[in-house]
């Protein structure tokens, strides 16, 4: 056990790059830092840990409400994970989070007007339900170069919809439902019609799982094009109408971490 001098003072063979280890943080004397490591070279790593096989290079355990790992960055990245292996048998994961019954990954930004709790550059997949306490929107480029929001249309039930055009012949048309769409929906469906021309009005006279028949009202015999919109309930999931949702639990945040710049001191 060291009482005053650094535990380890290491020097590499390339340049005067020192690594210091000490047992007390001189900037925070009220708290004990068991291990303080600093790399003298700005491009060096203070600590490197290599793990082999299926083990872990570093294991950090926080019991009760303690944090396993806390990281602080002034303007950089506090925690960064790189998965460089691109083999066909292994899925590289830069940062992984798992919780048995809590939250696997939690991200929060205090300034919700200018900041983001998370940004993903690439495709995003959700294997499970996706809920948003706020706005859902697509961001699209405009001809003037600006980016604009287009908001999502919501519904109290889970629906799929399809669109198309057909043409009346002698006041009648049978419209085949796309087989791919039909395989994804269940139960009765809704059909909305819009004629592209003068007519007595259109209506749906028959609906089956494979097609529906459109006729002109009043026994009309018009020949004109019309568009249709089919809306049906999604088949593969159970989505009750307007189900209740529990509020998002609030995470117990530890006090804000602030650390002064400095070097390990042999007088600590």
For residue 227, the enclosing domain spans: 159-234
- Using one digit for the tens of pLDDT, what is the confidence trace for 157-200? 999 999 999 999 999 999 999 999 999 999 999 999 999 999 99
pLDDT at res. 10: 56
Are residues 27 and 118 located together in one domain of the fold? yes
Are residues 168 and 227 located together in one domain of the fold? yes
The long-range contacts involving 93-96, CB below 8 angstroms and separated by at least 24 positions, are none
Look at the chain and report how many structural domains it folds into: 2
pLDDT for residue 261 is more than 70: no
Confirm whether 248 is domain-assigned: no
Are residues 77 and 118 located together in one domain of the fold? yes
Are residues 15 and 91 located together in one domain of the fold? yes
210: CATH: 2.60.40
Confirm whether 134 is domain-assigned: no
Of the residues 112, 129, 146, the one at which a domain ends: 129
- pLDDT averaged over every residue in the chain: 83
Are residues 106 and 28 located together in one domain of the fold? yes
Which range is most confident: 60-64, 108-112, 210-214, 237-241? Answer: 210-214
Confirm whether 145 is domain-assigned: no
Average pLDDT estimate for 137-155: 96
Average pLDDT estimate for 25-46: 64
Q: Quick one: what percent of the chain has pLDDT higher than 70?
A: 78
- Using one digit for the tens of pLDDT, what is the confidence trace for 64-96? 878 888 888 878 888 888 877 665 555 678 888
Confirm whether 182 is domain-assigned: yes
202 band by pLDDT with thresholds 50, 70 and 90: very high
Confirm whether 263 is domain-assigned: no
Are residues 118 and 188 located together in one domain of the fold? no
Of the residues 129, 146, 167, the one at which a domain ends: 129
């Amino acid at each position: 056990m060291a009482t005053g001098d650094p535990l380890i003072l290491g020097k590499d063979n390339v340049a005067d790059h020192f690594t210091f280890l000490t047992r007390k943080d001189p900037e925070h004397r009220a708290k004990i830092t068991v291990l303080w490591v600093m790399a003298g070279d700005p491009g060096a790593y203070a600590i490197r840990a290599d793990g082999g096989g299926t083990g872990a290079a570093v294991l950090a355990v926080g019991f009760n409400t303690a944090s396993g790992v806390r990281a602080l960055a002034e303007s950089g990245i506090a925690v960064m994970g790189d998965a460089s292996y691109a083999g066909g048998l292994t899925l590289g994961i830069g940062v992984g989070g798992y919780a048995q019954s809590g939250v696997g990954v939690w991200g929060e930004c205090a300034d919700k007007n200018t900041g983001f709790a998370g940004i993903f550059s690439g495709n995003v997949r959700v294997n499970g339900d996706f809920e948003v306490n706020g706005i859902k929107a697509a961001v699209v480029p405009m001809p003037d170069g600006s980016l604009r929001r287009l908001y999502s249309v919501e519904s109290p039930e889970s629906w799929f919809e399809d669109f198309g055009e057909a043409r009346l012949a002698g006041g009648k048309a049978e419209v085949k439902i796309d087989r791919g769409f039909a395989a994804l929906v269940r139960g009765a469906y809704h059909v909305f019609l819009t004629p592209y021309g003068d007519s007595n009005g259109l209506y749906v006279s028959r609906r089956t799982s494979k097609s529906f028949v459109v006729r002109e009202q009043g026994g009309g015999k018009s020949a004109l094009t019309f568009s249709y919109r089919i809306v049906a309930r999604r088949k593969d999931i159970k989505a009750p109408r307007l189900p209740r949702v529990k509020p998002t639990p609030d995470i117990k945040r530890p006090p804000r971490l602030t650390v002064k710049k400095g070097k390990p001191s042999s007088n600590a």
